[in-house]
Amino acid sequence: MLTLYWYPKCGTCRKAKKWLDEHGKVYKEVHIVENPPSREEIEQLYRISGLELRKFFNTSGKKYRELGLKDKVKTASEEELLDILATDGMLLKRPILTDGSKVTVGFKEEQYENIWGSSF
């Protein structure tokens, strides 16, 4: 089963959810702010994704700017970045979609078609 980490007020998240619904995908919704993934879950998502860890940061978010993370992200260790991401669900780029063996961060329709279109 798919797990969608999302924030209901996020337009991009709503687009991803609409795509999943239109394609008949079965998924579990996890409110990324009310029930943020643990540090261990974030690390697992990161490892499975094959993406750079900085791709998991919501760089356009208010919290990211308030904490002045732009420069910190460039110099911090992987351990430090994972710790920072685990402090607040609003720091995570969303939506995050996973089936346990694949992970996508953000929503691009073409990417969803390629990765999730034929699955399940």
Please give the model's pTM, rounded to 2 decimal places: 0.94
- In the structure, what pLDDT confidence band is assigned to residue 119 with cuts at 50, 70 and 90? low
Q: What is the pLDDT of residues 10-40, one digit of tens each?
A: 999 999 999 999 999 999 999 999 999 999 9
Spatial contact of 93 and 82, defined as CB atoms under 8 Å apart: no
pLDDT of residue 102: 97
Give the architecture-level CATH label for domain 2-116.
3-Layer(aba) Sandwich (3.40)
Quote the DSSP letter at residue 37: P
Q: Residue 98's closest CA among 34, 32, 40, 48? A: 48
Spatial contact of 93 and 52, defined as CB atoms under 8 Å apart: no
Give yes or no for residue 120 having a pLDDT over 60. no
Nearest 5°: phi and psi at 20? Answer: -60, -45
